[in-house]
Amino acid sequence: MSIDLSQFHQVFFEESYEGLDVMESALLNLQPDKVDSDTINEIFRAAHSIKGGSGTFGFTDVADFTHVVETLLDEIRGEVRDITSDTVELFLKSVDCIRKMIQQHDVGDPYDATDANAIKAQFETILSNDLPTQAGESLAITPVTASHEIQNDSPAPHGWKIYFKPHQDILRTGNDPLRMFRELESLGPLIVAVDVSALPHISLIDPEACYLAWSLELKADVPKAVIDEAFEWVADESELSITPVVVEDDQVSAPEQLTPYRPAVKGSDLSKVEVTSIRVGIDKVDDLINMVGELVITQSMLGELGLDFTMKSLPKLLEGIEQLSQNTRELQESVMRIRMLPISFTFSRFPRLVHDLGRAMGKKIELKLSGEQTELDKTVMEKIGDPLVHLVRNSLDHGIETPQERLTLGKPETGTITLNAFHQGGKIVIQIIDDGAGLNKAKILEKAKQNGMVSDTDVLSDDQIHDLIFKPGFSTADQVSDISGRGVGMDVVRRNIIELNGSVEVESTEGEGSVFTIRLPLTLATLEGQLIRVGRQTYILPLISIVESIQSFQGMLHRVVGGCDLLRLRDEYVPIIQLSSLFNIPSDSKDMEDGLLVVVEGDNMKVAIFIDDLEAQQQVVIKSLEENYKKVEGVSGATILGDGTVSLILDIAGLIKLAGVQRHEYKAVHKGDDYAA
Amino acid sequence: MARILAVDDSASMRQMVSYTLKVAGHDVVEAADGQQALELAKGTQVDLVLSDVNMPVMDGLTLVKELRALPEYKFTPILMLTTESTLDKKMEGKKAGATGWLVKPFNPDQLLATIKKVLD
């Protein structure tokens, strides 16, 4: 029978990646001084599965490599060998190595075994060393030697004599002498004589025990190994003798041969096709199926109504349409949910990152993760990974002090970095919290003044000083280190996040630590939008960026000659952007006071947008303008409204840029109550 | 043909075993660990159990002990699929009540040849 094992390869690869992730995170959790047997078992089991699978599916290099890893793990599991932080490092390296091997099989690339061999040699060195503990005791692992080792491999020309007296409990292990005899019978004529001499008196018989013994004669020209095989599982607990007989007899059938195992050769062309897939919880698929079911029912109801429509059935039609719109909405939500994955997919890479970086920098760090089950869209998740890595690196490099520094400061030697995610008002919030040194305001201010970003006379609030680290060109020579100074500054982090319609801000207390807070929309495919009208044009503002709307603002208006009009909003001045003049379209409002101002926040500043009217709020499906037309400044995309017209979605950061509202201008007036009039 | 319960925490291994058995005409139920297998076995009588040894929640040896304690599984063949080919491990399996073992890695032909030994 031939079964193509390659059909199981993809599952094996995915399973192995998961297993490697499990190994990695468990290894990172391992405290070498306090070995937790559950954790070791978990690591062992993952390695064990990978070894078993790779052997079965023909990836012998992976199987060989994993074998040494597993052997050492087994010794640690059996407490015959201690685990040290160096062993943990070696295990981590081996995880990387196995991952690389599997990836190469996955894409069908030839494997370069140099690294693997080097790591394997390290394992072998450890394994060949004398055991540090319990050196006198023998290992639990013994070489594979079965007691019924084949002595005589040449077939007996005239068959075999067998005496078989099984252990009384043979039936209780699911073994059955009858089955063994049948197997022997398939090899050639079999003569069976039963020996009932051990049978007790009927009153003493345990019906589940076996008291019988047998003398058998197999007239088959087969090697002894074939007979051994029939008794393989019971031989060590039975009286068994197999001797050749010399009797004249007929030719017998050839022994059954097992085909040797050949690993399946992978077709490299086919395997190069990269598949991006997501795993979806079955409940989500169920929801979807239910929803489609509902939709079909509604559709058939409407269809029937349409066959024979009179005005009398109008209410029914309206009801049907209402139901249809509800179905559609629910279906859309369900489909969206399919793309939602828990943020643990992104968080999972951090334990390793923090471990490696902490080691490289000589810092002791504990990473805490919370809210890993918080879900967000796969595309958002893919794009937030790099900014998050940068922020975590930053916390490690600039935030957390060295163990010595921390001890002098009276802090615990080990610093803590917390990654926290939660939902808040239709957004996902991700925080990177550290208990390190916090931002050094004096130093930041000094740098900013050197760079001419702030003038000597400016008075900045703490938040404004902290915000300076996100400014382009702020990263300075003595801030750059091997870890975080890789040409990517905080300004790039902020820009990437803003491109996702999100925001990032920092709070920090000197000496106590920093909190970076990222807010992101849950998905990039749809947007909760506020429809606004200017003249005959309808635009959409992302609801998430709206702070408030103001109708009557007569006393709050400050006209600035040659500059931007300002709105005095409580204790700050907010620049006003006029869409009508920006986009050169007629507006209904002749006078400023006739219209409305929508205060929005983008690019970390507030602006007020002057419009004619606010219309409905609705969820809109975002269509890319860039893909279908070209990039338009101040517009992030387009959508089609219910009446079929195309409406542009405004991009606040782009509008600010387009309107030429300068940030330093804003800063100078911020909280400057006596400015302008 | 026979109704077989395949137990393995590795999905690829389980799929391979299950597919092979189905192609050979058997009826297969699958479980990802000993606990699941035990529940399944209680719900439906199977003719043969093929179980991995190392599994989370409930390992293969515990599963064998639990099954053997049930009257309906007293004599049912239970084969262990294991990478641990040491005699110690095999003896441990036998003590728990396992019928026999199949050492990983194995190919579909070996699997079928082995189960032929225990199915009438």
Tell me the pLDDT tens digit for each residue of A522-555. Answer: 777 778 889 999 988 999 998 878 889 988 777 7
Question: Among A133-142, A174-183, A561-570, B58-67, where is mean pLDDT lowest?
Answer: A133-142
Q: Are strands A526-534 and A537-542 parallel, antiparallel or unpaired?
A: antiparallel
Statement: residue A9 has pLDDT above 50: yes
Average pLDDT over residues A163-176: 83
Residue A211 — very low, low, confident or very high, per pLDDT cuts 50/70/90?
A: confident
CA angle A630, A632, A633 (to 5 degrees): 150
Average pLDDT over residues A434-443: 87
Test B91 with A236 for CB contact under 8 angstroms. yes
Statement: residue A123 has pLDDT above 60: yes
Average pLDDT over residues A296-305: 88
pLDDT score for A632? 85
Chain A contact set for B11 (CB, 8 A) = 11, 15
Among B9, B10, B33, which would you mutate to test the A interface (most chain A Cβ atoms within 10 Å of its Cβ)?
B10
Residue B5 — very low, low, confident or very high, per pLDDT cuts 50/70/90?
A: very high
Task: Give the nearest partner residue to A56 out of B9, B68, B105, using CB atoms.
Answer: B105
Task: Give the nearest partner residue to B118 out of A56, A144, A179, using CB atoms.
Answer: A179
CA A88 – CA A356 distance, rounded (Å) = 12
Q: Does B13 touch chain A (CB under 8 A)?
A: yes
In the sheet where A503-509 sits, what is the strand order?
A365-370, A415-424, A427-434, A513-521, A503-509
Closest CA in chain B for residue A7: B16
Tell me the pLDDT tens digit for each residue of A341-351. Answer: 889 888 988 98
Mean pLDDT of chain A: 79
User: Which A positions 254-273 lie with beta carbon below 8 A of chain B?
Assistant: 256, 258-259, 261
Q: Does A186 touch chain B (CB under 8 A)?
A: no
- Buried residues in A503-528 as b, exposed as e (16+ CB within 10 A): bbebbbeeeebbbbebbbbbbbbbbb
Statement: residue A248 has pLDDT above 70: no
Test A52 with B88 for CB contact under 8 angstroms. no
Test A236 with B24 for CB contact under 8 angstroms. no
Element containing residue A92 per DSSP (H, E):
helix A85-107
For CA atoms A668, A671, A675, A676, give the dihedral sign: positive
Tell me the pLDDT tens digit for each residue of A375-389. Answer: 888 888 888 888 999
Task: Give the nearest partner residue to B97 out of A1, A42, A173, using CB atoms.
Answer: A173
**What is the distance of C-alpha A423 from the center of its chain?**
18
- Cα dihedral A163, A169, A174, A180, rounded to 10, equals 0
Average pLDDT over residues A53-80: 85
Tell me the pLDDT tens digit for each residue of A412-432. Answer: 989 999 999 998 877 889 999
Q: Does B99 touch chain A (CB under 8 A)?
A: yes
Statement: residue A234 has pLDDT above 60: yes
Task: Give the nearest partner residue to A142 out of B10, B88, B109, using CB atoms.
Answer: B88
Test A56 with B13 for CB contact under 8 angstroms. yes
Hey, what long-range contacts does A45-49 have (CB within 8 A, 24 or more apart)?
A45/B9, A45/B54, A45/B55, A45/B56, A46/A19, A46/A20, A46/A22, A47/A19, A47/A23, A47/A73, A48/B54, A48/B83, A49/A15, A49/A16, A49/A19, A49/B9, A49/B10, A49/B13, A49/B54
pLDDT score for A432? 94
More confident residue, B64 or A455: B64
Query: Which residues lie across from B3 on neighbouring strands?
Result: B27
Q: Which residue has the tokens 């999972």?
A: A348
Cβ atoms of A149 and A229 within 8 Å: the answer is no
Test B99 with A174 for CB contact under 8 angstroms. yes
- Enumerate residues 6+ apart whose C-beta is below 8 A from A13: A102, A105, A106
Average pLDDT over residues A506-523: 88
| Distance in Å, alpha carbon of B4 to nearest chain A alpha carbon | 14
H-type alpha helices, A511-601? 579-583
Test A49 with B118 for CB contact under 8 angstroms. no
- Cα dihedral B17, B20, B22, B25, rounded to 10, equals -130
pLDDT score for A155? 62
| Distance in Å, alpha carbon of A79 to nearest chain B alpha carbon | 17
pLDDT score for A266? 38
Residue A131 — very low, low, confident or very high, per pLDDT cuts 50/70/90?
A: low
Task: Give the nearest partner residue to A53 out of B10, B77, B78, using CB atoms.
Answer: B10
Statement: residue A642 has pLDDT above 70: yes
pLDDT score for A444? 85
Q: Does B45 touch chain A (CB under 8 A)?
A: no
pLDDT score for A285? 85
Test A144 with B91 for CB contact under 8 angstroms. no
Closest CA in chain A for residue B9: A49
Chain A contact set for B100 (CB, 8 A) = 175, 232-233
CA A148 – CA A230 distance, rounded (Å) = 12
Residue A113 — very low, low, confident or very high, per pLDDT cuts 50/70/90?
A: confident
pLDDT score for A488? 57
Residue A657 — very low, low, confident or very high, per pLDDT cuts 50/70/90?
A: confident
Average pLDDT over residues A209-235: 81
Q: Does B71 touch chain A (CB under 8 A)?
A: no
More confident residue, B33 or A129: B33
Average pLDDT over residues A472-489: 52
Task: Give the nearest partner residue to A52 out of B76, B91, B104, using CB atoms.
Answer: B104
Among A173, A182, A228, A229, which would you mutate to test the B interface (most chain B Cβ atoms within 10 Å of its Cβ)?
A173
pLDDT score for A483? 42
pLDDT score for A265? 38
Statement: residue A619 has pLDDT above 50: yes
- Greatest Cα pair distance, chain A, in angstroms, is 125
pLDDT score for A261? 38
Q: Does B51 touch chain A (CB under 8 A)?
A: no
Task: Give the nearest partner residue to B11 out of A2, A11, A230, using CB atoms.
Answer: A11
- Enumerate residues 6+ apart whose C-beta is below 8 A from A190: A181, A184, A216, A217, A218, A219
| Distance in Å, alpha carbon of B27 to nearest chain A alpha carbon | 17
CA A523 – CA A519 distance, rounded (Å) = 12
Choose among A582, A572, A614: nearest CA to A596. A614
Q: Does A185 touch chain B (CB under 8 A)?
A: no
pLDDT score for A649? 92
| Percent of all residues in chain A with a pLDDT value above 70, rounded to a whole number | 85
User: Which A positions 85-144 lie with beta carbon below 8 A of chain B?
Assistant: 140-142, 144
